[in-house]
Structure 1
């Protein structure tokens, strides 16, 4: 009754604010928003008994094709699952009058959770951190291209990072920033990035699931609103071979669950880093290869990981080293945290956070030791092990890493690996323009 009363109060408040519809959103395996739109007078009923959704939604590939063998399609006769709104995530959709949205969790019809859902995977890992005495503070930092909606070409060329004229070259930037702020995304900086028509809009961190929810809202807003404005926004890792890639830097630190103190900080350490910070970072390095499918989930992602591109190419860490996989932000104060720089801009924020957290927690549980910091930029050190160059190799590393698999959960991995192998089969079967141009005449 108390919960029903709460839902009723929420709906009354929404009506008072002019709401006509509420969009029930599911973050899918790719980080894309899948949703159904509900008239306001139907919201209470669906909130209390769940909203039906095709059960294989999490098992669609990047072309939205049904993938067999995942456990969510033919195995359950293509049955429905149910969406359950988390009203803590309720926000307006500023560019559609009367529209609100809420992020949902997913269960089977018997009420058991769909453990393949990325939001479930991250929540489970946050619970794991809590059992060790920690809260997790994190944030995502994305790069994206803003393109002409018809030609799909950049609006300007050249390397103009931080150039004030380029920062606001496109008229849609200010409406985009306004829409993000209206949804509770606490913007902190905006600037153009390293390539022409590439941008970065940063927002503040949060504790726990709210951080990934905010990143999900950010990406979905950039995609949808830019489309409404006549543009095409893309977080694709490497749209062009000769232009900068789009990365996602996952910022993460641990807080003492009771006191809120920064568990990565040790004022007595020469670098200000605690043993917790070092073991957590060592976990990321140890399980880096197994992390890669989650933070680089498409073949295109691996074009980005090359030296001299401000993207990591090897398994490495360094204090303030922009070429390292883990850039330690050792500020010797409460802001101390790490920045994991290997994720692609197109990666699912729940899964990039889950991969980073799972590897770090393994470092704590197993007491890993962090290797000494190398001299000079990490990318110049040939002794460091390279990151995988292909998605196939990364998937093999994940499949071989029993510790990571145990933390991520087999229900999730069955769906994820099956979908990724399906996509790779389609990718390898495709004849590219390069092949035709290279071979048609000479052979």
Structure 2
């Protein structure tokens, strides 16, 4: 039977209307009085509007307007000319439309919940500069190749005093039991995260003083990035409300460890539902798909560095002998390599990309690494040898870009990555980052003053 386009659209409208009705009923049943409509900006920070529950239906059906340039602000929230989202569109609005499946309670606020939104122009066209849109587009590319994507973002962050922004304690205390729960507010943070449906699996103190890592379970598809977005912004907000300060800044202290985002990823066969990275007939249990994926990430690693290390500060972390990679390398269970292959010889086989920083936008970490890996799979790339020693000890390996300037140059030279992520988004991203760099390079640092002012 042939269904007309008009009828198909009508059915879609009825389905959406029914979904909104169910959503409103769910809000009522759970007793929420306020709903936050949230969206990730270019940097992964939540931008939102708070809505009384009796106003939600109208916005759920029509969308909620917000300044379109919100996704084209730099890290200082400066308006960036030439990005395509400010003066070029007359500083107009676009619409936030909620993804109803992302409804999440905010237990540290009374009777309040949130939904993550996608963004659309008034014409109904999606906003292609949105980081969530780009992530979903890459997931669709994977689906076209026959894969779903399993992922987990593993963040480190500093828990600091609010007034001085200094650590709660000194020394190096990785996994130390006393430091792991040094103050009762840490336990409260964990409780709030679990109540907001973050499925925590481990918590521990990290290498540096007052640095922590809280891990949660993996997820398939956009829900993996949504969970990371919710986690990061929740940690910041909860810790602030407790009277402290949390930061995912990559290198807040020159003499202490940087904070990373180790990104775990595997591909699942959409038909069999089995892990496409696992091959029981291979010596190490690694499939051809995994090997091509890893080689794709290695080949395109210079070009994706701006997305996983998006600030000048990020590159201060990428030093030898710090468990943070400085060269383009891979190895089985190698913590010194850029890509650590977790060869469990079972359905848990996956890779861990160790180059991303704690400050990175989880949607862009997903999008860029997935884009690079899929290029490797699509082009049947052959995986290079891993070498006989840990990646950090091999002087013959090529180096990763050493600053954001060179990383952006590498992105501009990588036509395949730009094509995968989309011209509109890449233009937006590069324009904002070049704008930030201009401000960065024009700033006189404290080091310069201390070094030169007195003696010379």
> Normalising TM by the smaller chain, what interval?
over 0.9
User: Alignment partner for residue 315 of structure 2, among 289, 295, 302?
Assistant: 302
Instruction: Please state whether the residue corresponding to 1:353 is helix, strand or coil.
Output: helix
Equivalent position of 1:33 in the other structure:
46
Structure-2 residue corresponding to 1:392: 405
The corresponding residue for 2:149 is: 136
State the distance in 2 between where 1:213 and 1:9 align: 22
TM-superposed deviation, 1:5: 2.9
Post-superposition offset of 1:226: 0.4
Please give the root-mean-square deviation of Cα atoms over the aligned residues, in Å.
0.8
Q: C-alpha distance in 2, partners of 1:245/1:410?
A: 32
Please report how far the alpha carbon of residue 373 of structure 1 lies from its aligned counterpart in structure 2 after TM superposition.
1.5
List per-residue Cα deviations over 1:263-311 (Å, max 9, x = no partner).
Answer: 0111111111011000000000000000100000000000000011111
2:235 is equivalent to residue 251 of structure 1: no
* Alpha-carbon distance in structure 2 between the residues aligned to 1:434 and 1:161: 30
Q: Which residue matches 2:189?
A: 176
The alpha carbon displacement at 1:67 in A equals 0.7
Cross-structure match for 2:430: 417
Counterpart CA distance in 2 for 1:183 and 1:361 is 33
Report the equivalent of 2:112.
99
Instruction: Select 2:374's aligned residue among 334, 350, 361.
Output: 361
Matches within 5 A, 1:83-122: 83-122=96-135
> 1:378: which partner in 2?
391
Query: Which residue number in structure 2 is paired with residue 436 of structure 1?
Result: 449
* CA–CA separation in structure 2 for the residues paired with 1:268 and 1:191: 37
Partner of 1:206: 219
1:193-241 Cα deviation digits (max 9, x unpaired): 0001000000010110000000000001000110000110001110111
Residue equivalent to 2:302: 289
Residue 5 of structure 2 corresponds to none
Equivalent-residue separation in structure 1 for 2:178 and 2:32 (angstroms): 38
Moved more, 9-18 or 76-85: 9-18
For the residues of structure 2 that align with 1:220 and 1:179, how far apart are their CA atoms? 13
* Whole-Å separation in 2 of the counterparts to 1:366 and 1:15: 51
Q: TM-score, length-normalised on structure 2?
A: 0.96
Matched, 1:155 2:168: yes
- String of CA shifts for 1:139-164, please: whole Å, max 9, x gaps: 00000000001111000011110000
Higher deviation after alignment, 12-21 or 353-362: 12-21
Query: Hey, what does 1:317 align to over in structure 2?
Result: 330
Q: What is the DSSP-based 3-state SS (H/G/I as helix, E as strand, rest coil) of the residue aligned with 1:266?
A: coil
Question: 2:77 is matched with which residue?
Answer: 64
SS of aligned partner of 2:135: helix
Q: What SS class does the counterpart of residue 389 from structure 2 fall into?
A: coil
Query: 1:238 — aligned with what?
Result: 251
Q: Distance in 1 between matches of 2:19 and 2:87?
A: 38
**Separation (CA, whole Å) in 2 of partners of 1:154 and 1:40:** 40
- How far does the alpha carbon of each residue in 1:234-275 deviate from its partner, in whole angstroms, 9 at most, with x for none? 011101111000000000000100111110111111111011
CA displacement 1:95-132 (0-9 Å, x = unmatched):
00011100000011111010010100010110100111
The partner residue of 1:5 within 18, 27, 30 is: 18
Q: How far apart, in 2, do the equivalents of 1:3 and 1:406 lie? A: 32
Deviation at 1:369, TM superposition (A): 1.0
Once the 2 structures are TM-superposed, how far is the Cα of residue 185 of structure 1 from its aligned partner? 1.2
2:18 aligned with 1:23, yes or no?
no
List runs of 5+ in structure 2 lacking aligned partners: 1-13
Secondary structure in 2 matching 1:152: coil
d(CA) in 1 for partners of 2:398, 2:416 = 20
Alignment correspondent of 2:136: 123
Question: Any stretches of 5+ residues in structure 1 without a counterpart?
Answer: none
> Aligned to 1:159, what secondary structure does the other structure show?
coil
Counterpart Cα distance in 1 of 2:15 and 2:225:
28
The residue that corresponds to 1:336 in the other structure is: 349
User: Secondary structure of 1:362's match?
Assistant: helix
SS of corresponding position for 1:414: helix
1:228 has 2:241 as partner: yes
Q: Secondary structure at the match of 2:184?
A: coil
Any idea what SS the aligned residue of 1:121 has?
helix
